[in-house]
Amino acid sequence: MKSHAVAVVGATGLVGRKMIQVLEERKFPVSSIRLLASRRSAGRELPFAGAEHRVEELTPSSFKGVEIALFSAGAAVSKEFAPHAVRSGTLVIDNSSAFRMDAGVPLVVPEVNRQDIFTHHGIIANPNCSTIQMVVALKPLHDRWKVRRIVVATYQSVTGAGKKGLTQLEQEVAGCTTGEKKFPHAIAFNILPQVDVFLDDGYTREEHKMVNETRKIMGDNDILVNATCVRVPVWGGHSESVNVEFERPCTLPEVREALRCFPGVVLQDDPQQCIYPMPVHAWEKDPVFVGRLRMDPTVPSGITMWVVADNLRKGAATNAVQIAEEWIKGR
Ligand code: 3JN
């Protein structure tokens, strides 16, 4: 198999380091790896495939000879540097919101819309973590019963806010309340009904991402989504209560079967035995775990489910690497 020159932009962040780990674990065919970050992080060494690799400062000329660049350094860095990469002939897989809603940029979750990968013009966007795990669980249901409306509440790990989010939780749990704050309030022993900033309509940007990205990935602008995104003091992954209303009648055994057969989903649904998805079990795993399946008696056809995934893996790094794998396979 042909190997590829790969770059990771934002290599020292939580997602960047997870991308390096996932490339190695999945034996992605890497001929050379270039680890790129801000000047502040340049010079550090990170392990990949049994050797230490020096982190280089990201510059416009960093992409010469690079075939695939995985970006996870925030939207501002992507907006500035992805065009340089594209001009170098590099395929950019971007984990930020910079290009997700651009018409010429596919927004891809391989289990859901793999075919969109091949419509790219140099950039493929990786969706927001909360959206990825929800659409994986929705896709087999949408194909069969057509989703009309979704009401979702998220319970998002502090790791979604990066190293500073994790550090704030760890310091507060240890009794230190004077450290640098990532969140506007204490996160230890607390929950915050806020992820990202508030917009004029009273919803947060994270909630808007879930609405817009779900429609784009599922290719259906009629799907109604109402989201409430919440930060919880957890580090294994993101959890979501997802209430779905369908166009056509479904039964619970049929829903269970559709989910069980869908690649990327693991059904964990035996409530009598206290078996249901939890972030402590999803941590460091790639599937989207689904459980607590029950009919919604308030609508003619609908269900409620509980959906959990490791936000740094399927919600970010694994999904990005899967896009690269599918692109190689299908080219
Ligand atoms: O907070 C989370 O759990 C997910 C955060 C995602 C995030 C944080 C800052 C900037 C994003 C994202 O992926 O949408 C962005 C962004 O790229 O806008």
Residue range 118-148, pLDDT digits in tens: 999 999 999 999 999 999 999 999 999 999 9
Q: Give the helix/strand (H/E) hosting 48.
A: strand 45-48
214-258 per-position pLDDT tens digit: 999 999 999 999 999 999 999 999 999 999 999 999 999 999 999
Q: Is 208 in the pocket of ligand 1 (CB under 6 A)?
A: no
- Alpha carbon of 272 to ligand 1 centroid (Å): 36
Q: Is the pLDDT of residue 179 over 90?
A: no
For the Cβ of 316 lying below 6 angstroms from any atom of ligand 1, the answer is no
Closest ligand 1 atom to residue 238 Cα is: 3
Q: What is the pLDDT of residue 331?
A: 87
107 lines ligand 1 (CB under 6 A): no
pLDDT at 284 over 90: yes
Of the residues 53, 84, 120, 238, which is catalytic?
Answer: 238
Q: Compute the average pLDDT of residues 149-164.
A: 98
Ligand 1 neighbour 97 (Cβ under 6 A): yes
Average pLDDT over residues 190-204: 98
Ligand 1 centroid distance, CA of 128 (Å): 6
**281 carries an active-site annotation:** no
Ligand 1 site-directed mutation target among 97, 205, 209, 210, most atoms within 8 Å of CB = 97
User: Ligand 1: which residue has its CA nearest to atom 3?
Assistant: 160
pLDDT tens-digit readout, 11-50: 999 999 999 999 999 999 999 999 999 999 999 999 999 9
What average pLDDT does the chain have? 98
Q: Report pLDDT for 178.
A: 86
Sign of CA dihedral 125, 130, 136, 141: negative
Look at the block and give the residue holding tokens 């078996």: 275
- Residue 189 burial by CB count (10 A; 0-12/13-18/19+): exposed, middle or buried? exposed
For residue 177, is pLDDT > 90? no
Q: What is the pLDDT averaged over residues 284-303?
A: 98
- Encoded tokens for 302: 């609908």
Residue nearest to atom 2 of ligand 1 (CA): 160
Task: Provide the 3-class DSSP secondary structure of residue 186.
Answer: coil
Please tell me if the CB atom of residue 230 comes closer than 6 angstroms to any atom of ligand 1: no
| C-beta separation of 214 from 199 below 8 A | no
- pLDDT band of 265, cuts 50, 70, 90: very high
Tell me what pLDDT residue 180 has.
87
Q: Is the CB of 156 under 6 A from ligand 1?
A: yes
**238 in catalytic set:** yes
User: Does residue 1 have a pLDDT over 90?
Assistant: no
Q: Of 254 and 177, which is predicted with more confidence? A: 254
- Strand order across the beta sheet in which 4-9 lies: 45-48, 51-57, 30-37, 4-9, 68-71, 91-94, 123-125
Per the rule left: phi > 0, alpha: psi between -120 and 50, beta: everything else, 297 is alpha
Give the mean pLDDT of 176-195. Answer: 94
Q: What is the whole-number distance in angstroms between the Cα of residue 289 and the centre of ligand 1?
A: 21
Q: Give pLDDT tens digits for 312-327.
A: 999 999 999 999 999 9
Q: Which residues of 64-84 are buried (b: 16+ CB within 10 A; e: fewer)?
A: eebbbbbbbbbeebbeebbeb
Any atom of ligand 1 within 6 Å of the Cβ of 129: yes
Is the C-beta atom of 96 inside 6 A of ligand 1?
Answer: yes
The C-alpha torsion from 157 through 160 and 165 to 171, rounded to 10°, is: 30
**Residue 41 CB less than 6 A away from ligand 1:** no
CA of 93 to the centre of ligand 1 (A): 15
The amino acid that residue 119 corresponds to is T
pLDDT at residue 194 in the model: 98
Q: Report CA(323)–ligand 1 centroid distance (Å).
A: 19
Indicate which residue of 129, 142, 208, 250 is catalytic.
129
pLDDT tens, residue by residue, 61-114: 999 999 999 999 999 999 999 999 999 999 999 999 999 999 999 999 999 999
Domains of the chain with CATH codes = 4-127+316-330 (3.40.50.720), 130-311 (3.30.360.10)
Residues 239 and 221: their CA atoms lie apart, in Å, by: 25
CA-CA distance, 272 to 106, in Å (whole number)? 42
CA distances from 145 to 141, 153, 249, 288, 331 (A): 6, 22, 7, 20, 32
